[in-house]
Amino acid sequence: MGFGGVAHRPHRGDLGGTAGPGRSPGARAGQARHRRPLPALRHGHGGRAMNTLGLFPGQGSQRPGMAAWIVDHPAAAAVFRRADEILGLPLSTLCVDGTAEELRATEVTQPAVVATSLALLAARTQRPDAVAGHSLGEFTALAAAGVLDEESVLRLVRRRGELMAEASARSAGAMSAVLGLDVESIEKLCATVDSGSVEVANHNQPTQVVVSGHEVAVGELEQLAKAAGAVKTVRLKVGGPFHSRLMADIAADFGAELDRYEFRPPAIPVLSAVTADYVTDPAEIRDLLRGQLLAPVRWVDTVRRAVADGYDELLELGPGQVLTGFSRRIAPDVASAAVSAP
C-alpha cells in the first residue's frame, strides 16, 4: 500500500516497437496517443553501465487513465488482451477509461495495477538487473524474474484482492500515514495503544510510516503520534487494515490458493520487501507471499539493501511515481526515475 510521493518527470525508457493498425484495447474513439521515447538511464558517470533495480508499485498507485499512454503499444496491448480473457474483467478499458471509484475496489485495483506494470515491462526492450515490489508489486516482480508466469500472477492477484475485500468487509479497520516520526518511535507508540490492535504496516520513507489496525486503535495512535511531534497524520482511503494481524483469517485461504501454482527459481535477483533480503527458493517465496498479508512492508530497508549492494539506478515500472518519491528520500544520491505517463 503506497502513500504520498511527489511529481517527477517520467522516464519512458526504451519502449520498443510501433503501434499496430486499428484501435487497441481501451482506446478512446477519435483520440490518438503518441509515445515519445526518452533515452534510458543506463549509464552513470564516465559512461559506466548502471545496475538497475526495477521497482513495482502496489495498491494506492492506481489512477484514472493510468494505462492510456501505453495501451496502443503492441506488446502492452497484448498483455491487456490476455488479462481481459484470463480474468473476465475489462482491464483494458478500466485502466484507460475507468473512474477513480471503479478503480478503488480492492478486487479490481490489484489486477489493474499489476496488468499495467506487466504491460509497461512487456513494452520495454531493456530489462532490470534485479527487481523488488511494494506489497502487491511483489507479484509483478516475481513475474519479471520468471518465478511465476503472467497468467498465474494475474489469477493470484485477482484472488488476493477478493479475499482482502472480504476480510475488510468483516473488520472495522483503517490505515493511516504518520509523517515526521521514525519507525522505532511509531512501534513504541503502537505498543501503548489499549483500544484495539494497531501496528506498523509500511515503512515507506525514513519518516513516513503507515499503521494499520482496528479503526478506533488507529485513531488513538494518530492522537499519540501528534502529541509525540508528528508533522501530521493522513487517514488512507483504502478498503481495510492491510498488512496487519486483522488479515489473519484470509492467510490460510490465500496460502491454499498459492499452493495451486508452480513457483520457479528466479532468473534475476529478487529482493523481498517482507525481509529486505534476497529470495531464491521457490518454497520460501510462496511462504513469504502468504505471510506478506500480515507483515509490514520494509521498503526503506529494501531500498537501502539494494543500494548497499551496488544497484545505482532505481527504476519504477508501473502507474504513478510514488516509489520514485520514496526512493529519492531514502537514497537521494542514487538515480531514480519512473516509467510512467506525465
Q: What confidence score (pLDDT) does residue 289 get?
A: 97
- Residue for grid cell 506498523: 200
Same domain, 156 and 271: yes
Same domain, 94 and 218: no
Same domain, 189 and 318: no
What is the torsional sign of CA 221, 250, 141, 302? positive
Same domain, 164 and 71: yes
Q: What confidence score (pLDDT) does residue 8 get?
A: 36
In a domain, 11, yes or no: no
Same domain, 259 and 120: yes
Q: What confidence score (pLDDT) does residue 14 get?
A: 55
309: Cβ contacts below 8 Å, ≥ 6 apart: none
In a domain, 287, yes or no: yes
Same domain, 161 and 259: yes
Q: What confidence score (pLDDT) does residue 33 get?
A: 38
Q: What confidence score (pLDDT) does residue 166 get?
A: 87
Q: What confidence score (pLDDT) does residue 21 get?
A: 32
Q: What confidence score (pLDDT) does residue 288 get?
A: 96
Annotated active-site residue in 61, 168, 243, 340: 243
Verify whether residue 203 is a known catalytic residue: no
Nearest residue to 263 (alpha-carbon basis) of 153, 102, 112, 109:
153
Q: Which residues of the chain have pLDDT under 50?
A: 2-13, 17-48, 342
Q: What confidence score (pLDDT) does residue 132 get?
A: 98
Which residues are registered as beta bridge partners of 249? none
Same domain, 73 and 187: no
In angstroms, the CA 201 to CA 324 distance is 19
Annotated active-site residue in 24, 135, 152, 212: 135
In a domain, 204, yes or no: yes
pTM: 0.86
Nearest residue to 157 (alpha-carbon basis) of 148, 146, 145, 168:
148
In a domain, 8, yes or no: no
Q: What confidence score (pLDDT) does residue 303 get?
A: 98
In a domain, 4, yes or no: no
Same domain, 70 and 143: yes
In a domain, 13, yes or no: no
State how far the alpha carbon of 29 is from the alpha carbons of 25, 74, 317, in Å. 11, 18, 27
Q: What confidence score (pLDDT) does residue 44 get?
A: 43
State which residues form the domain around 176: 172-235
Same domain, 228 and 281: no
Which one of 217, 235, 253 terminates a domain?
A: 235
Same domain, 99 and 187: no
Which one of 186, 213, 235 terminates a domain?
A: 235
Verify whether residue 11 is a known catalytic residue: no
Half-sphere exposure of 338 (CA within 13 A, CB side): 25
186-204 burial string, b = 16+ CB within 10 Å, else e? beebbeebeebbbbbbbbb
Q: What confidence score (pLDDT) does residue 237 get?
A: 80
In a domain, 26, yes or no: no
Total domains present in the chain: 2
Q: What confidence score (pLDDT) does residue 49 get?
A: 56
